[in-house]
């Protein structure tokens, strides 16, 4: 029995060496994260001394709004050949070899649903492939499709489909009339609409952009008697921001601003505490394995039982 006890203790001694190294490594990591210095920022309120807009908002008459797209019913004509078989790679654990191994299974996939639409008062038939999916082709007999009367094309109607509405805009004096393509769920009626207009080239934007942060403000901020360049996206005219203050976070080390600031101290301390706990657990395990013979033998017994279980 003495030689078995000595052999068991030798195994414990061999096992605690990497655990002792792990305890030291985790303790060092904990100290590094706890003492790490980070770039700090403080909340400041610089004054906007200058602010220039990239866009204006103009109201223009739009006498014509049309779309060349129609929602039509397509008929399914998917052939049986569109059912294909794929080899899908998978992985599983083999208990006998105690290793992961690759294998494959065969799955049937639909290569795509083909739908057909016949143009009224014409023998012309258009088709479109509505994409594939797992399993045999068994889509509905009819399906909503998008027919483009201008280009004579047929496409599958996506769930988030919007019409391409063509806005014919009456331009101001000395400018050519403009046509603008905008996406809407339903094309609006003709009338006066507000458009965004880029200052650099007078390019118009769709009416719904007026409700977004369409304007890029090129600003000069004053902080501690120094001017800083900054850009912001807003909804409105940038010139209205002059002499107002901005709520920003300033770093003296990098001499710049940020909109938000989440101090990393909390995360660093959390990592430090976690690694310190792991280091302490490893240390306790090493001490018990060295000082308590019963604890050492129990560990060896559990390891032996686990090995035998995996062999069964």
Neighbours of 125 (CB within 10 A): 12
Q: Which of 51, 2, 4 is nearest to 239 (CA)?
A: 51
Task: Answer for the pair 204, 197: CB distance below 8 angstroms, yes or no.
Answer: yes
Quick one: the chain helix, strand, coil %, rounded to 5?
Answer: 30, 40, 30
Confidence (pLDDT) at 53: 96
Confidence (pLDDT) at 56: 94
Q: What residues in the chain have per-residue pLDDT under 70?
A: 1-16, 36-39, 80-81, 171-177, 264-266, 268, 289-312
Q: Which of 177, 205, 207 is nearest to 191 (CA)?
A: 207
- 171-200 burial code (b ≥16 CB/10 A, e <16): eeeeeeebebebeeeebeeeeebebbbbee
Q: How far is 286 from 280, CA to CA, in rounded Å?
A: 10
**Sequence-distant (≥ 6) Cβ neighbours of residue 255 within 8 angstroms:** none
Confidence (pLDDT) at 83: 76
State whether residue 152 is helix, strand or coil: coil
Structure tokens at 56: 């204006």
Confidence (pLDDT) at 59: 92
- Phi then psi for 85, rounded to 5 degrees? -110, 130
Confidence (pLDDT) at 220: 95
State whether residue 40 is helix, strand or coil: coil
Confidence (pLDDT) at 20: 77
**Sequence-distant (≥ 6) Cβ neighbours of residue 204 within 8 angstroms:** 58, 60, 169, 178, 180, 195, 196, 197
Task: Answer for the pair 44, 222: CB distance below 8 angstroms, yes or no.
Answer: no
Where do the structural domains in the chain lie, given as residue ranges?
Answer: 25-38+263-311, 59-211
Confidence (pLDDT) at 51: 96
């Amino acid at each position: 029995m003495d030689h078995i006890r000595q052999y068991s203790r030798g195994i414990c001694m061999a096992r605690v060496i990497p655990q002792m190294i792990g305890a030291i490594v985790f303790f060092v990591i904990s100290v590094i994260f706890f003492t790490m210095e980070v770039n700090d920022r403080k909340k400041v309120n610089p004054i906007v001394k200058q602010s220039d807009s990239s866009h204006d908002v103009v109201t223009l008459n739009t006498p014509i709004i049309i779309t060349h797209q129609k929602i039509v019913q397509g008929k399914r004509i998917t052939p049986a050949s569109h059912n294909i078989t794929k080899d899908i790679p998978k992985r599983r654990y083999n208990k006998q070899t105690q290793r992961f191994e690759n294998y494959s299974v065969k799955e049937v996939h639909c290569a795509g649903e083909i739908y057909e639409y016949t143009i009224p008062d014409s023998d012309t038939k258009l088709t479109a492939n509505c994409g594939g999916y797992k399993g045999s082709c068994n889509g509905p007999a009819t399906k909503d499709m998008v027919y483009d009367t201008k280009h004579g094309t047929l496409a599958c109607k996506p769930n988030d489909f919007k019409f391409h509405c063509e806005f014919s805009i009456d331009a101001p004096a000395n400018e050519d009339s403009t046509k603008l393509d905008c996406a809407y769920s339903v094309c609006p009626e003709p009338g006066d609409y507000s458009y965004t207009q880029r200052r650099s080239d007078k390019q118009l934007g769709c009416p719904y952009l007026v409700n977004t942060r369409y304007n890029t403000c090129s600003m000069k901020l004053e902080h501690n008697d120094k001017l800083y360049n900054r850009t912001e996206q807003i909804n409105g005219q940038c010139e209205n921001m002059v002499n107002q203050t901005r709520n920003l976070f300033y770093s003296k080390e990098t001499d710049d601003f940020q909109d938000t600031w989440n101090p990393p101290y909390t995360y660093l301390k959390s990592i430090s505490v976690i690694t310190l706990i792991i280091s302490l657990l490893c240390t306790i395990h090493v001490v018990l394995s060295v000082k308590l013979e019963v604890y050492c033998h129990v560990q060896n017994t559990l390891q032996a039982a686990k090995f035998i279980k995996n062999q069964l």
